[in-house]
Structure 1
């Protein structure tokens, strides 16, 4: 098992580092990464085909979030550069036509387990009009007086002939800023979004510091390794 830690110096260098997970897996070695990406709004391929895509990119820039296009996932997600985590697990596969459901199930169960160690009670699914809507999401009841169920985690998958990558986003804190930029971006795209459905680990009663969340998710994703303590660790840069 290969573990990548830290964040490369730029958005593009950091994306290259994540692409390496698939290359490592294609060579027969599973790989895991949990980190804090640079500040950005990452658009999915479906977004790029919408009439409002250029306006959405400008909406992100106006709020100080550089727009990029990502390789996996559906609609736009936002990273604040400090308290939003990304995670990824790549593994070698023999047949790209099978296994997707099982990989989603394992990743979802791992994220549920990680969040429970942090004192949360996650539930599968998401409220209507959530960001990056999809079948594989986790939500939690907000600890505030309104007690709303809000989305914390989105999970996606990319499959090649020789390797598969299950990846996603975890919002740890800074809900108001993230909800604000997502509202502007989704409005420009013409895609329904209720900003009240944007949740965070902190809002659900967990820590505001991303490091214990990162460590819990990494431990959970490594749980399938025969000997997780013997994993090879590669440090990519700063503490992100």
Structure 2
């Protein structure tokens, strides 16, 4: 198992590091990465086909979130550059047509385990009109008002020789994230309820991303042996 820590010096270089995980897995070694990406709005390919895509990119850029288009996942997600985490786990596959559900289930279980070690009780699913809606999301109850809000989204990319399960975890700063997401989704003419955007901090967990990063990394590595750690 190879574990990568930290982030590269630019958005483009950082994305190249994550793409390397698939190549490493294709050569036979699982790989894990949990990090704080640069500040950005990462659009999905479905967004790029929307009539309002150019307006959405401009709305993100105006608010100080450089727009990029990502390889994995559906709708736009926001990273604040300081507290929002990304995670990825790549593993070899022998048949890209099988194992998708099992990989999702393993990743979801790992994220649930990590959140519980931080004192949270996550639930499967998401509120209506959430950002980047999907069937593999986790939500938590926000203590201030008892409302369920989404904090984890999970996606998957599968090749014939390797698969990558990746996602986003919102640790803090939900106000700024929900504001930029509202502007972007409005430009795309895609439904979004800003109040559905959550964070670990708002649910009573830590606002510091480091203990969250460490807990997720530990859960994704699991009981793997011969772990090699590479710092960027």
Fold in common (TM above 0.5): yes
Shift of 1:147: 1.2
SS at 2:38's partner residue?
A: coil
1:198 matched to which residue of 2?
A: 197
Tell me how far apart the structure 2 counterparts of residues 103 and 203 of structure 1 sit (CA, whole Å): 29
Partner of 1:203: helix, strand, or coil? Answer: helix
SS in 2 for 1:135: coil
| 1:35-184 alignment runs, 5 A limit | 35-144=35-144, 146-184=145-183
Aligned partners of 1:224, 1:103: CA distance in 2, in Å? 16
Distance 1:125 1:175 in 2: 18
Question: How many residues are paired up?
Answer: 232
Give the aligned CA root-mean-square deviation in angstroms. Answer: 0.5
Give a deviation string over 1:153-191, Cα, whole Å, max 9, x none. 000000001000000000000000000000000000000
Partner Cα distance (1:99, 1:204) in 2: 33
Give 3-state SS (helix, strand or coil) of 1:192's partner: coil
Q: What residue is the counterpart of 1:235 in the other structure?
A: 231
Deviation, 1:205, is 0.7
CA distance in 1, matches of 2:138, 2:192: 17
CA distance in 2, matches of 1:143, 1:162: 44
Cα displacement string for residues 102-157 of structure 1 (whole angstroms, at most 9, x for unaligned residues): 0000000000000000000000000000000000000000011x111000000000
Q: For 1:15 and 1:109, how far apart are their aligned partners in 2?
A: 25
1:186 maps to which residue? 185
Q: Which residue of 2 aligns with 1:223?
A: 222
Q: Please report how far the alpha carbon of residue 224 of structure 1 lies from its aligned counterpart in structure 2 after TM superposition.
A: 4.2
How far apart are the structure 1 equivalents of 2:223 and 2:129? 33
Runs of at least 5 residues in structure 1 that lack an aligned partner in the other structure: none
Classify the secondary structure of the residue corresponding to 2:96: coil
User: Structure 1 length normalisation: TM-score?
Assistant: 0.96
* In 1, Cα distance between equivalents of 2:61 and 2:147: 30
